[in-house]
Chain A
Amino acid sequence: MALAAPKETYAGRVFEVTIGTSKTAVFGGENVLPFHKFDGDTPHKPVIAFEIQDVAPEDWPDTVKEVYGDAASDPVKWALYCQNNLNAQAIALRLISTHPDRENRSADDAAKTVKAVLDSIEVPLIILGSNNVEKDATVLVAAAEAASSRNCVIGKAQEGNYKTISAAAMAQNHKLIAMSDLDINLSKQLGILITQMGFEKERMIADPMCSALGYGLEYTYSVMERIRLAALTQNDVIMQPPMLADIGMYVWKVKETQASEADLPKWGSLKERGIAWEAVTAGAMLLAGAELLIMRHPDAVRSVQKFIEEF
């Protein structure tokens, strides 16, 4: 007997988000589960942003540091290298040096870096704080102003600082990342709080918190799947922003991306292992529902792009 294809259709649809001005990137817009083009519309492929930071990546493992070499000594050079040499669709600038436990640079310094990077690149920019709740509230406000009218993504707004960061993103017409701690209800709650301030839900990007392969990946995977199912089956508009997976920062600190083959011969080549760790984490996040990825190693990005091309 021939098999009647058991297709599924849904009531809801993920919001389509466009970032950047001169060169833009578009993601979201689907009314089906990830890559389920056999069920309905998948108008855009996921977008991968290359992560750079405002100081040289001394804290990154060699496998990924070596790729950038001298280009990473300055954020403008680094951004241009990603755009011109690696064909980055977008750049994610992490203002890590503003963290009080690190260089503790000022919001003004951060704003200058943002401006310098934006003046030199054409691709969209994602501007990330140092993930210090208090400091991000000042740094990201200054960064949003410096990036005014460039349609950037500002993040991450969390429960403890969403008011100031959302207001700045709203005033300067940026998109906003809303990050919550690995829980579908917390993600929804933060979405409600931010939209109640008057921030349009169509300009939001949800970050339900990423985790690396082997380090809680299954939690992120299921939270993302549940958020996407709620968006589609229940037509829950708060759950309909596209999702971000901030992969690099979680992957490149786990043991599997750092331990040498000499120490752990059973784990095989360190270089391939690190790249595979980032690529496989990214692949799983895409299958769970992420539309925007932030990654570090160009080889991992290339493999994930080839993977996306196969759908």
Chain B
Amino acid sequence: MALSGVEIFKLLPKTNCKKCGHPTCLAFAMKLAQRQASLDACPDVSEEAKRKLGEASAPPFRPITMGAGNSVVNMGEETVLFRHEKKFVNPCALAVEVKDTDSEESIKAAVDALRDSELERVGQKLRIDAIFIKEVSGDPAKFSQTVLSISAQAPDMPLIISTTNPAAAEAALEKIPGTRPVLYGANESNAEAMAETAKKHKVILGVYAANLDALSELTEKIKATGVEDMVIDSGARTAGDILRDNTFIRRAAIKKSVKSVGYPVISFAQRDDHMLEALVASLCIAKYSSIVVLSSIEKWKSLALFTLRQNIYTDPQVPMQVEQKIYSIGEAGADAPLMITTNFSLTFFIVSGEVENSKVPARLAVMDSEGLSVLTAWAAGKFTASKIAQFIQESGIEKEISKKELIIPGYVSILSGAIEEKLPGWKVVVGPREANALPAFLKTMN
């Protein structure tokens, strides 16, 4: 459990020496309790205090980074159960499974598909994050060859090496030094050897047990051997079990400071029915997994899962924004109507969706209003006549259109006169208040 300011104060030297930059030890203790200061700032703190405070101030979920190239995956560090309380920190990584018994062509196809999986949505680059390579052959040489070949084809891609055979793990890890993969496959019967291998190669150890109790015991045992970085699997495979175990893990680590489950969770969503697989993966994304392993990455599935992940991991305090520019919807010719709105992503999506539904080609000028919706932006002085006029002038849109006419949202009809004053030669038309009236409105414009 995190310590209160007063509890921390009791462990400090109480000299009020100010060397930490705070006026008193109590003030420093309060900052420590809010995690706004680091204990290192105190030169006189005792070793005992350091140990106690260090344990108490460690994040409930250990921060762990998988991979070493340009595309590492950060995991752990979560502090809440519900996204409205505080932003979920590290988005759940999506990994695709390949087996060492798959043919060379099918592995190559999988790696190519993975490279091709990158998409851009609302300014974010989204892609499959890791490859899960499963040893099925029982042959360490074949397994290590597969791992090496995939690593060569996708050198930046973080890998999860899956085997329960320490000899196969050793053989594979030797081929890919310095890549910081996850070695998934420590269990009750091989824990010691796997822990040794993980330590030797400085990799993250994936720990499996058949239930939460056994898992909690096993991570403690492995930690005692000196392995700090683990990802954990409680054996949950059905949606109900995944929800139960992930919820218990999140609650135990955050509310009860249970360290033995304070690690990122790896979940398995593979199903023969790919639509069901997408739903189980959705559960993993929304409910606390750090890695979810998929059987395949059809583009439609990746797009849906990337989008859900983006939605769930959005900061609830910061509105999503789209880029300021003039968007063409449909084949917008010189005579297509020009509308303006703000850059709150929801506003943009709803307005552009309705314009698309109208099937009337149009231009939508989206102005940077710091992610506020139309009325809020207007009230906050970020969607004013002069700013709108400046944006339209600087956009150079004048040269591309045949009639200088700007449609403004009905909620800011009050701005029409002022915009016309500041944009000489332009006519301002007041559009509907709500986006759902746009199709009917645009049809009358034609």
B248, B278, B299, B356: the one contacting A280 at CB < 8 Å is: B278
B300 smallest CB distance to A (angstroms): 4
Say if the beta carbon of B258 comes within 8 Å of chain A.
yes
Say if the beta carbon of A162 comes within 8 Å of chain B.
no
CB pair A101 B440 closer than 8 Å: yes
- Interchain CA distance A271-B217 in the complex, whole Å: 46
Which B residue's beta carbon lies closest to that of A302? Answer: B275
CB pair A272 B300 closer than 8 Å: yes
Interface residues of A in 197-254 (CB under 8 A from B): 211, 213-219, 221-222, 225-226, 229, 253-254
Count CB-based A-B contacts (< 8 Å): 163
- Interchain CA distance A214-B84 in the complex, whole Å: 17
A1, A2, A268: the one contacting B300 at CB < 8 Å is: A268
- Interchain CA distance A5-B92 in the complex, whole Å: 24
Which B residue's beta carbon lies closest to that of A213? Answer: B307
Which B residue's beta carbon lies closest to that of A300? Answer: B275
Say if the beta carbon of A56 comes within 8 Å of chain B.
no
B366 smallest CB distance to A (angstroms): 15
- Interchain CA distance A304-B304 in the complex, whole Å: 15
B236 smallest CB distance to A (angstroms): 11
Say if the beta carbon of A147 comes within 8 Å of chain B.
no
CB pair A225 B82 closer than 8 Å: yes
Interface segment out of the listed B69-77, B165-173, B249-257, B416-424: B249-257
- Interchain CA distance A36-B82 in the complex, whole Å: 15
Interface residues of A in 1-32 (CB under 8 A from B): 1-6, 8
Interface residues on chain A, number (Cβ under 8 Å)? 52
CB pair B216 A2 closer than 8 Å: yes
Which A residue's beta carbon lies closest to that of B258? Answer: A3
- Interchain CA distance A272-B12 in the complex, whole Å: 61
Find the residue from B252, B279, B305, B440 having the highest chain A CB count within 10 A: B279
Q: For chain B, which range describes its interface: under 10, 10 to 19, 20 to 34, or 35 or more residues?
A: 35 or more
- Interchain CA distance A300-B280 in the complex, whole Å: 14
CB pair A214 B307 closer than 8 Å: yes
- Interchain CA distance A273-B298 in the complex, whole Å: 10
Interface segment out of the listed B19-27, B39-47, B100-108, B311-319: B311-319
- Interchain CA distance A219-B311 in the complex, whole Å: 9
Residues of A within 8 A of B398 (CB): none
B240, B302, B304, B356: the one contacting A37 at CB < 8 Å is: B240
Which A residue's beta carbon lies closest to that of B436? Answer: A131
A258 smallest CB distance to B (angstroms): 8
A48 smallest CB distance to B (angstroms): 13
Say if the beta carbon of A192 comes within 8 Å of chain B.
no
- Interchain CA distance A222-B307 in the complex, whole Å: 16
Residues of A within 8 A of B286 (CB): 221, 284, 287
Say if the beta carbon of B34 comes within 8 Å of chain A.
no
CB pair A287 B84 closer than 8 Å: no
CB pair A276 B278 closer than 8 Å: yes
- Interchain CA distance A6-B238 in the complex, whole Å: 20
CB pair A213 B311 closer than 8 Å: yes
A38, A213, A267, A304: the one contacting B308 at CB < 8 Å is: A213
Say if the beta carbon of B380 comes within 8 Å of chain A.
no
- Interchain CA distance A22-B310 in the complex, whole Å: 44
Which A residue's beta carbon lies closest to that of B211? Answer: A3
Residues of B within 8 A of A143 (CB): none
CB pair B240 A254 closer than 8 Å: no
Residues of A within 8 A of B216 (CB): 1-3
Interface segment out of the listed B150-158, B175-183, B191-199, B345-353: B345-353
Say if the beta carbon of B2 comes within 8 Å of chain A.
no
Residues of B within 8 A of A310 (CB): 238-240, 280
CB pair A226 B440 closer than 8 Å: no
CB pair A266 B119 closer than 8 Å: yes
- Interchain CA distance A255-B357 in the complex, whole Å: 9
Which A residue's beta carbon lies closest to that of B301? Answer: A276
Known contacts A3-B252, A8-B251, A101-B440: does B243 contact A36 (CB below 8 Å)? yes
Mask: chain A, 79-101; 1 = CB below 8 Å from B; 0 = not? 00000000000000000000001
CB pair A213 B240 closer than 8 Å: no
Which B residue's beta carbon lies closest to that of A265? Answer: B299
Residues of A within 8 A of B238 (CB): 310-311
Residues of B within 8 A of A307 (CB): 239, 276, 279-280, 283
Say if the beta carbon of B18 comes within 8 Å of chain A.
no
Find the residue from A3, A37, A216, A272 having the highest chain B CB count within 10 A: A3
- Interchain CA distance A299-B274 in the complex, whole Å: 12
Q: List 10 A-B contacts (CB under 8 A).
A: A213-B308, A221-B311, A221-B312, A225-B82, A267-B119, A268-B301, A269-B299, A273-B299, A310-B280, A311-B239
